[in-house]
Structure 1
């Protein structure tokens, strides 16, 4: 690592402002954390007082933001190299690595303690493990050591619905594990689709993404295989306690589209992909974002319908 120690400093271009510290939280990633955690909370049997639910989601969001800040602290050297990250606060010189570290650690401690006080120790423990997994297991260990970084590391982004569920129930169930599995299996094809048209960034940063270590042809095959494994899991959720006819209709359409996209990616060669600027790969990446959001929207909708005894099994 270069220039990422606690005391590493770089001349600032401007004084750090609120927007710079907020950017450390990775707000776009945090929004997904908040949404999936909220769906886990809503879908769980039982309920929280609205004020308790608000605090639970807030502290889960803060914990997600803490993970983002600590990830940026550790990955500052990589972020300086990659085009899509070089304008982040640390590589841009607006915040020092030490400031990001202290900020992230403070938020991590606050989020875990306060979630435990607002809900229960199981939810707090899951949040603490999620932060640890994302920062230590994924960012510090897996990301720079294996092309399976996204496969294993994807677990970090899959925990939020489990945390939301545990905030209500005080435990883990088959349904919360299935929501975890949905995100876990979705993560590799989602990121590999991105890596196909961002390979040069990972290569220059010496990150062993699958496209770098095994090439784009192998990556295309992996996308197809993981999507084929994801589809029956996603559809199968329809026949569990958090599923139903509405969810099934959404899952069938989305998984048909995602499978077709993965098939289209697999069929393409590099010459054709380069000729059209990786248009298909970019389209499938955008679809993958809609895919996850829509599945969790469907779980939320089906929860409401099941509670009312309307359009349910």
Structure 2
């Protein structure tokens, strides 16, 4: 009897059950949409002129790089994703995509996104994109996430880099403005994610992740949310009086910042039962709107002069 006849199951080729939708899920499309949006703001705000084809190429590469990071994150975190309610239905825990398939997919996208950006747009921008992928996958996912309650604080740098990559893709250099955009997203990440962790604490306990509510408790987390929100609002408003962003942005940053602070105060005050969970959910939801409004204001402010120039 042949070996094949003895062990047909072991030697039979694996037939993937993954659909296109499963591979799209690996890219974390919600996170990717935020990356594309903030990178676009960085490109449009940059001085000079960038050809629309180059803009599209840069955004596509940045988006694919972000998707690659998401796929590699899901590959490495497949063990904790399987036990968390929020992530249990992802393609790898469900068995529709195997870990080797996800790893190959993520590595391939990483390689092509970085080298395409370098060859067709700018090598400095490509190097920053490579660093962003490395920081998210290795520094955050493989190290910080499982070792320290400050994982979101430090790891937030990866999510704050896309507007910097966009600016560098357009100019080939750094400036104060993209660093200000970086600072806003960097300080926004902790209150945004800690609000989520307050009403998803059981998930993180099951996964044995040292999130702040698990390690320090919900009250300490509420205080940190309030403190980070205060610093975020100050940093978000500061570019207006410093002369980097215009008055329209300053007004929007002030008004939306006041609303963000109100939601953070409610999280700090509401500490029991359904009211506490509702307050955390509202802050998490509003924080997304807050960041969108800030960057949308900057995008519109940068596009209006371009539109007027084209019209004239």
> Considering the TM-score relative to the shorter chain, is it more than 0.5?
yes
3-state SS of the aligned residue for 1:238? coil
CA distance in 2, matches of 1:262, 1:278: 13
Quickly say closer, same or farther: Cα 1:94–1:242, change in 2 above 3 A: farther
Q: Contact 2:153–2:190 at 8 Å: present in 1 too? A: yes
Give the C-alpha shift of residue 301 in structure 1: 1.7
CA distance in 1, matches of 2:117, 2:147: 33
Alignment gaps of 5+ in structure 2 = 1-13
Give the C-alpha shift of residue 246 in structure 1: 1.1
CA distance in 1, matches of 2:274, 2:216: 22
Alignment gaps of 5+ in structure 1 = 1-11
Give the C-alpha shift of residue 242 in structure 1: 4.8
Give the C-alpha shift of residue 267 in structure 1: 1.4
1:36-80, CA deviations, whole angstroms, 9 ceiling, x for partnerless residues?
Answer: 000100000112111111111001000000000000000000100
Q: Is residue 2:288 matched to residue 1:289?
A: yes
Give the C-alpha shift of residue 225 in structure 1: 0.4
Tell me what 1:280 maps to.
279
1:226-284, CA deviations, whole angstroms, 9 ceiling, x for partnerless residues?
Answer: 00111111011224565111111110111000111111111122x2xx13461111111
Written as runs of structure 1 = structure 2, the 5 A alignment for 1:4-15 is: 15=17
CA distance in 1, matches of 2:58, 2:175: 19
Q: Alignment partner for residue 153 of structure 1, among 155, 158, 180?
A: 155
Q: Contact 1:67–1:135 at 8 Å: present in 2 too? A: yes
CA distance in 2, matches of 1:262, 1:54: 37
Quickly say closer, same or farther: Cα 1:194–1:158, change in 2 above 3 A: same
Q: Alignment partner for residue 48 of structure 1, among 47, 50, 63?
A: 50
Q: Is residue 2:131 matched to residue 1:132?
A: no
Give the C-alpha shift of residue 197 in structure 1: 0.4
Q: TM-score normalised to the size of structure 1?
A: 0.91
Tell me what 1:105 maps to.
107
Q: Contact 1:27–1:65 at 8 Å: present in 2 too? A: yes
Tell me what 2:253 maps to.
251
Quickly say closer, same or farther: Cα 1:308–1:19, change in 2 above 3 A: closer
Give the C-alpha shift of residue 133 in structure 1: 0.2
Written as runs of structure 1 = structure 2, the 5 A alignment for 1:112-127 is: 112-127=114-129
Q: Contact 2:45–2:298 at 8 Å: present in 1 too? A: yes
CA distance in 1, matches of 2:121, 2:84: 40
Q: TM-score normalised to the size of structure 2?
A: 0.92
Q: Is residue 2:84 matched to residue 1:82?
A: yes
CA distance in 1, matches of 2:168, 2:175: 9
Written as runs of structure 1 = structure 2, the 5 A alignment for 1:17-56 is: 17-56=19-58
Quickly say closer, same or farther: Cα 1:94–1:265, change in 2 above 3 A: same
Tell me what 1:7 maps to.
none
CA distance in 2, matches of 1:61, 1:168: 16
Q: Contact 2:267–2:276 at 8 Å: present in 1 too? A: no
Q: Contact 2:43–2:163 at 8 Å: present in 1 too? A: yes
Written as runs of structure 1 = structure 2, the 5 A alignment for 1:145-184 is: 145-184=147-186
Tell me what 2:227 maps to.
225
CA distance in 1, matches of 2:274, 2:294: 33
1:110-138, CA deviations, whole angstroms, 9 ceiling, x for partnerless residues?
Answer: 00000011211110000000000000000
Following TM superposition, the consecutive aligned residue runs of length 4 or more in structure 1 with deviations greater than 6 angstroms are: none
CA distance in 2, matches of 1:121, 1:266: 45
